[in-house]
Structure 1
Amino acid sequence: MTNSIIDTAPLFDLRADIQVAATPVEVYGVVSDLTRSGEWSPECLGGEWVSGTPSTVGAVFRGKNLRSEQVVGWAPLVRGIWHTECRIVEAEPGRTFRWMMLSHANEDQESVWGFDMADACGHCTLTHHFRMGKATAGIHKIVAELDEPARKRFVEEWTAKLNQDLTDTLKRIKDVVELR
């Protein structure tokens, strides 16, 4: 058995920060409403809460997503519209909001997205983060037919895409919050 970049843990561990002219509680009120994610996410168009009390630990959100043909265009990614489900794993108003992606079998994956908020002299430092411990079934499916150089290329390009998505998301959230 050979070692692959896909066996690295964590596979992804990324974060970005921005200053927002609002309180952490005000920012939390926006980012914890995943139905609004289409206002800021580069891929998620929004969605609906399918179980539990919205925005609370244990609630499940079904997101509607869109990925263009140009995103890491050479890799065998899901394109067009697709749906995902996630479960809220942390929800502390004004402090943190995190969700874990669920597999198609509705099982937890080591794929967690979230926001942290901190007071910064009357403003809010908003941190957006993504961590994938072990590669998900979806990642394994994407790279199954790729040789190791292509797998490395995929991880490099996907990391760059994720970093850009985190930054773009924060800029859009800042605009949404500050222009309310």
Structure 2
Amino acid sequence: MRGSWRAGRVDGVEPSISRSTPVAASAEDVWSLVSDLPRMGEFSPENIGGYWVDCSGPAVGAKFRGTNRNGAKQWSTKATVVECVPGRLLTFDVHSPIGVRVSRWSYVIEPTDTGCVLTENWYRVGNWFVRRFLGPKVTGRQDRPGFNVESIEHTLAAVKAYAER
């Protein structure tokens, strides 16, 4: 059942942004790319990498420290894996350095006859103060949803290009 792997609602909310791309590579190969969070800086226009804090890879409860950059602005985040189905699904919550949950991201991989479909979802979570004041001040991005559309499309294209080599 292809739909059974879809990351669902977060706090009663559907994904704020969801984009998909077909990839002519196996679900396992694509999984190895998107679940290697320290390597995400190779694919993302904002993330520049990071490291697993308490383990060597993705698993429910695993923690990750990421670093992002926008021009001269650089900031760190803390992520916790909340769903992990190897080869199919990785979902993690992102928290600010002070511990406020700011977003949820998921990668859903659905096998097809010619490879797989990779979907990236972004969920807007957190309170209005973080969205309107703290986030833009820290990141330099006034339109986070607008940027995330471009970022997701960039990341999916980069993962697809790498996987299909």
Normalising by structure 2, we get a TM-score of: 0.80
Kindly indicate whether residue 36 of structure 2 is the aligned counterpart of residue 50 of structure 1: no
Which residue number corresponds to residue 72 of structure 1? Answer: none
Once superposed, which parts of structure 1, at least 4 consecutive aligned residues long, lie more than 4 Å away?
A: 9-12
Aligned residue pair count: 150
Q: Which has the higher contact order (CA 8 A, sep 6+)?
A: 1
Which residue number corresponds to residue 80 of structure 2? Answer: 87
Q: What is the rounded CA distance, in whole Å, between the counterparts of 1:55 and 1:27 in structure 2?
A: 14
* Maintained 8 Å contact 2:15/2:121: no
Q: What is the rounded CA distance, in whole Å, between the counterparts of 2:43 and 2:130 in structure 1?
A: 24
Kindly indicate whether residue 54 of structure 2 is the aligned counterpart of residue 61 of structure 1: no
* Maintained 8 Å contact 2:27/2:87: yes
Q: What is the rounded CA distance, in whole Å, between the counterparts of 2:135 and 2:24 in structure 1?
A: 41
* Maintained 8 Å contact 1:42/1:165: yes
Q: What is the rounded CA distance, in whole Å, between the counterparts of 1:96 and 1:117 in structure 2?
A: 6
Which residue number corresponds to residue 148 of structure 2? Answer: 162
Choose which of 133, 144, 152 in structure 2 pairs with 1:141. Answer: 133
Q: What is the rounded CA distance, in whole Å, between the counterparts of 2:14 and 2:32 in structure 1?
A: 30
Q: What is the rounded CA distance, in whole Å, between the counterparts of 2:20 and 2:135 in structure 1?
A: 30
Which residue number corresponds to residue 113 of structure 2? Answer: 121
Give the partner amino acid of 2:151. D
Normalising by structure 1, we get a TM-score of: 0.74
SS of match in other structure, 1:58: coil
Which residues of structure 1 form unaligned runs of 5+? 1-8, 69-78, 146-153
Distance 1:46-1:144 versus aligned 2 partners, 3 A rule: closer
Q: Which range is displaced more, 47-56 or 25-34? A: 47-56
Query: Which of structures 1 and 2 has the bigger CA Rg?
Result: 1
Q: CA deviation at 1:178?
A: 1.4
Q: What is the rounded CA distance, in whole Å, between the counterparts of 1:143 and 1:99 in structure 2?
A: 18
